[in-house]
Amino acid sequence: MKQVMSRREAMAVMGAATAAACTSRIAEAKAKKSTKGIALQLYTMRDPAKKDLPGTLKKAREMGWEYVQWSGMPDLPAEEIRKALDDAGLKAIASHTSVESFEKDFDAAVKFWKTVGVDFVAPGGMMGDCKDSLEAWKRGAKRLDDLGAKLRGAGIRLSYHNHASEFEKFPEDPRCKLDILMDETKSENLFAELDLAWVLAGGADPAAYIRKYKTRCPEIHVKDLAAVKPVKFAPIGKGILDWKDIFAAGREAGIEWYIYEQDNCNGDIFGCAKTSFEFMAKHLL
């Protein structure tokens, strides 16, 4: 016997279907939510990438990362780097590279990184021949300022990545090395890619330094420290850095990119990266 659905029953079914469709659309929208603003420093993944670059990039994308900084990866032509990233569904927004490569052949270096698609390039520290004295440090600052001006004309921004040593001082100057560098360069020519764990390890306050250079840190390295010595790193949110104050300072400073980096991991580096992604997504997206 054929059963006829009442009007009330039909409306209930239609309502349930509409609600289910709405829930599905919300879930789909959340799944497609942009992660612009957070990125993975691929130096974190350097060891697995040596054995399997495509697989490493794929795993990074599967855990949620969309944007990366190219560093510590296999030495490849720019076209192959771009293809590897495209195949994995990743976009490079920054790179670590040497100052000397631009000084040797500026046009070739610019073409290389524009092919990869980055907006920022940064050395991983002061050039080797510019470290030993205040005079040499200032000479290095001049080289960075000149290069930054030239890169700005080519549509690329130059940043400087610190370690703990930049918070040391030369005997004849009361300022730490990082402050000297910032004072000796123009804000439009050199930005501060503050590595927050190394800021803290150097004896300074990461949030205070973000505020101090709030016009000069569009991209920073977010990195956590374990509560032990010597220095050991931890997934974001699992260490001793004050992320509430750091993220508040970041909002004040208008930081464009928070780039997660973990120099080493005692356990599973993919697990550390996933934990860090989830923490950053929760607090920054």
How many domains are there within the chain? 2
Same structural domain for residues 11 and 48?
A: no
Residue 28: the pLDDT is 42
User: In terms of pLDDT, which residue wins out, 23 or 155?
Assistant: 155
Same structural domain for residues 59 and 156?
A: yes
- Overall average pLDDT of the 150-164 stretch: 98
Residue 17: the pLDDT is 44
Determine the structural domain holding residue 6 and report its residue range: 1-32
Residue 29: the pLDDT is 36
Same structural domain for residues 153 and 196?
A: yes
7-11, 136-140, 266-270: range with highest mean pLDDT: 136-140
Residue 8: the pLDDT is 55
Question: Which of 3-12, 151-160, 268-277 shows the lowest per-residue confidence on average (mean pLDDT)?
Answer: 3-12
Per-residue pLDDT tens over the stretch 201-247: 999 999 999 999 999 999 999 999 999 989 999 999 999 999 999 99
Per-residue pLDDT tens over the stretch 71-113: 999 999 999 999 999 999 999 999 999 999 999 999 999 999 9
User: In terms of pLDDT, which residue wins out, 212 or 13?
Assistant: 212
Residue 31: the pLDDT is 52
Same structural domain for residues 134 and 16?
A: no
Same structural domain for residues 7 and 148?
A: no
Same structural domain for residues 5 and 46?
A: no
Same structural domain for residues 252 and 139?
A: yes
Same structural domain for residues 26 and 132?
A: no
> Per residue, what are the HEC states of the chain?
CCCCCCHHHHHHHHHHHHHHHHHHHHHHHHHCCCCCCEEEEHHHHHHHHHHCHHHHHHHHHHCCCCEEEECCCCCCCHHHHHHHHHHHCCEEEEEECCHHHHHHCHHHHHHHHHHHCCCEEECCCCCHHHCCCHHHHHHHHHHHHHHHHHHHHCCCEEEEECCHHHHCECCCCCCEHHHHHHHCCCCCCCEEECEHHHHHHCCCCHHHHHHHCCCCCCEEEECEECCCCCCCEECCCCCCCCHHHHHHHHHHHCCCEEEECCCCCCCCHHHHHHHHHHHHHHHHC
Per-residue pLDDT tens over the stretch 15-67: 444 444 434 433 443 456 899 999 999 999 999 999 999 999 999 999 999 99
pLDDT tier at 266, thresholds 50, 70, 90: confident
Same structural domain for residues 88 and 131?
A: yes
Is residue 125 within 8 Å of residue 162, measured between CB atoms?
yes
Same structural domain for residues 105 and 13?
A: no
- Overall average pLDDT of the 241-267 stretch: 96
Q: Which residue's structure tokens are 């509560």?
A: 227
What does pTM read for this prediction? 0.88
CATH of the domain at 192: 3.20.20.150
Same structural domain for residues 253 and 173?
A: yes
- Overall average pLDDT of the 241-265 stretch: 97
Residue 148: the pLDDT is 98
For the cut 60, the answer to whether the pLDDT of residue 13 exceeds it is no
| Alpha-carbon distances, residue 44 vs 101, 158, 241, 259 (angstroms) | 23, 21, 19, 11
- Overall average pLDDT of the 142-155 stretch: 98
Same structural domain for residues 86 and 2?
A: no
- Overall average pLDDT of the 7-11 stretch: 49
